[in-house]
Amino acid sequence: MSIIPPPAPDGKLTVTVTYLEMTGAPRRAPHPTPARKLALLRADTVPIHFYRYLYNTVGEPWLWYERRVMSDESLATIVQDPSIDIYVLYSEGAPAGYAELDRRGQKTEENEIEIAYFGLMPEFIGQGLGRYLLDWTIDTAWSRRPKRLWVNTCNLDHPRALQTYQKAGFAPYKQITKIIDDPRTTGIIPHKA
């Protein structure tokens, strides 16, 4: 599944979003736990400043901007909803990444869960923690017994994101292309030389 995106005008970015789904829990051997001191904790009623730290630090290299422009009140309405689960991975006591499960779709006829956000802090990429956290997140979502688990990724995400989701058992079902304002040009994300 691939769309050749049109070139974007100056100050814009062409973004190809791929939507992936699972309709049953994966049958696989557990991925080995990385050999280090790890903890995964659910952030109950996550403080907005801590959520922004997670979102901004994990997402900045991949130009995550949507929640940066939200007011604290709007963001709190989402991330402090009882149907949103935010799990923080700690390595040797430091936040290493997070996963956000949106279970609001379980209240619908579709009975689905979305992995709304998922990623590692830049300094923890390439240490085997991503696969560990993704497998754990998938298993946790399926323990809630949805009919479907879905996620999306785009060409701005980590270059191996799409491949990683597919290896974990997700199958693409839709792809769209859109043009957005470059968040570095608008000042939403700092422009680094």
Spans of all domains in the chain: 13-23+37-181
pLDDT surpassing 90 at residue 10 = no
pLDDT surpassing 60 at residue 69 = yes
193 confidence band (pLDDT: 50, 70, 90): low
**What torsion, rounded to 10 degrees, do the Cα atoms 77, 184, 97, 99 define?**
40
The pTM score is 0.92
Query: Measured between alpha carbons, how far is residue 14 from residues 92, 93, 133 in Å?
Result: 38, 38, 29
Strands 112-120 and 148-154 turn out to be parallel
CATH architecture of 13-23+37-181: 3-Layer(aba) Sandwich (3.40)
- pLDDT given at position 7: 74
| DSSP string for residues in 80-132 | TSTTEEEEEEEETTEEEEEEEEE-GGGGSTT-EEEEEEEEE-GGGTTSSHHHH
- pLDDT given at position 122: 97
Alpha-carbon dihedral sign for residues 39, 169, 150, 16: positive
Q: How far apart are CA 131 and CA 164, in angstroms?
A: 8
72 confidence band (pLDDT: 50, 70, 90): very high
Q: Residue 1 has which token pair?
A: 């599944």
CB atoms within 10 A of CB 94: 10
- pLDDT given at position 190: 86
Q: How far apart are CA 174 and CA 167, in angstroms?
A: 17
| Percent of the chain predicted with pLDDT > 90 | 82
Q: In 3D, which of 87, 88, 160, 86 has the Cα closest to residue 126?
A: 160
Per the listing, tokens 């949103």 go with 84
